[in-house]
Structure 1
Amino acid sequence: MRFLAALLGAILILVTASPADAAPSGRTVRLARTVGVDITVPASVDLGSGFTGGTITRQLGAVEVRDSRGQVNPNTWVATVSATVFVTGAGGAQQTIANDRVSYWSGPAVRSTGGGMLVPGQPTSAQAVTLDVAREAFRKTAGNGNNMVAWVPTVRIAIPTGIVGGTYRGTITHSVA
């Protein structure tokens, strides 16, 4: 049987014609929660500001998977990540940054407990993947018993040239099964 838990974190970026300091904070939405395997993410992340044609690179904060299924054999799981498009404005004035312009890498584990083999999806920026489809973020490939792993992923957003300035909102979703 596979277990699924997910948290959504609103990601905010501010695209400006000149430097800016802050964007408003986001919110967290909890989806299905299954007893035994849980995933937590930061409530929201402000990715700061950037110029059209530039990039924004920021860490999202700790993502943590806890598996308390005990001696279930095998006790493995896969955490995945995906993103929506980033949007500003409304109706006919709406502008977007496509999710294929959002890159992600998990980085290594920063904390772990329990046994088993824990494998990052993208250990370094050289293995970064775009989030236009769901991608593997982390996995436990072997072992049983309770375990936990945390990682601090990084995202990079390539800001298109010619888009209007504004606060762009999108969602990066982590899930585990």
Structure 2
Amino acid sequence: MRFLAALLGAIIVLVTASPADAAPSGRTVRLARTVGVDITVPAAVSLGSGLVGGSLTGQLGAIEVRDFRGPVNPNSWVATVSATAFVTGAGGPQRTIASGQVSYWSGPATRSTGGGTLVPGQLTSAQAVVLGVSREAFRKTAGNGNNTVVWAPTIRIAIPAGVIGGSYRGTVTHSVA
């Protein structure tokens, strides 16, 4: 898909959210290292457009972790998030928004089933973390039995003054273990 900027110097960002094991977006991934725990991420998301030197904020859609390990006690897990740089064209200094310019906050659980203690990584925008490194997105710390949790994280991209307008693409990766 191509997106065109309506304003001179506008940036349009298309975010591709995908599981860590590079399965197609919008799919469920079962990680071999944690049998019985799955994570589902949305398909590609367009955050719209923003101006060079400004910022762009938008929700990624529903992220869901399903833990079907049964009566394992406790059946805790940690979901993490990271991002790549966002690039347009062939990339380069004026065509790249570094992952350190991408902030993330998980927000609260929007839906959950089963028992246990669920802890958002960053409940509010005031607690947003920069995705220059992998960060905790959500955690289940206690409880047993089958459970699910869904959250709808938000990202904010600070658009550097030195980049050119274009359609920037990057990947936000969620994983669970």
User: Is the TM value for this pair above 0.5?
Assistant: yes
Alpha carbons of structure 1 residues 26 and 64: separation in structure 2 relative to 1, 3 Å: closer
1-side partners of 2:171 and 2:74: how far apart?
Answer: 32
**Mapping for residues 86-165 of structure 1, pairs under 5 Å:** 86-90=86-90, 95-165=95-165
Structure-2 change in CA distance of 1:15 and 1:60 (3 Å): farther
* Aligned residue number for residue 17 of structure 1: 8
1:18-37 matches, cutoff 5 A:
29-30=22-23, 33-34=31-32, 35-37=35-37
Q: Which structure 2 segments of 5+ residues have no match? A: 24-28
Residues 30-57 of structure 1, C-alpha deviation per residue, up to 9 Å, x if partnerless?
1663340000110110011110001100
Output the CA distance in 2 between the equivalents of 1:105 and 1:165. 26
**Total equivalences in the alignment:** 165
C-alpha displacement of 1:91: 6.4
Hey, what's the Cα distance between the residues in 2 that align with 1:91 and 1:78? 33
Q: Give the direction of change, closer, same or farther, for the CA distance of 1:137–1:158 in structure 2 (3 Å limit).
A: same
Q: TM-score, normalised by structure 1?
A: 0.84
**C-alpha separation between the residues in 2 aligned to 1:113 and 1:98?**
37
Q: Give the CA RMSD over aligned residues.
A: 2.7
**Gaps in structure 1 of 5+ consecutive residues:** 1-11
The residue aligned with 1:7 is none
Q: Deviations over 1:118-158 (max 9, x none)?
A: 00000000100000001000000001100000000000000
User: Residue 159 and residue 68 in structure 1: after superposition, are their counterparts in 2 closer, same or farther (change >3 A)?
Assistant: same
Aligned AA (1:122): Q
Per the normalisation by structure 2, the TM-score is 0.84
Residue 49 of structure 2 aligns with which residue?
49
> Structure 1 residue 60 and structure 2 residue 60: aligned?
yes
After the TM superposition, which parts of structure 1 deviate over 3 Å for at least 4 consecutive aligned residues?
Answer: 12-16, 22-29, 31-35, 91-94
Q: Matched residue of 2:126: which SS?
A: helix
1:17 alignment partner AA: L
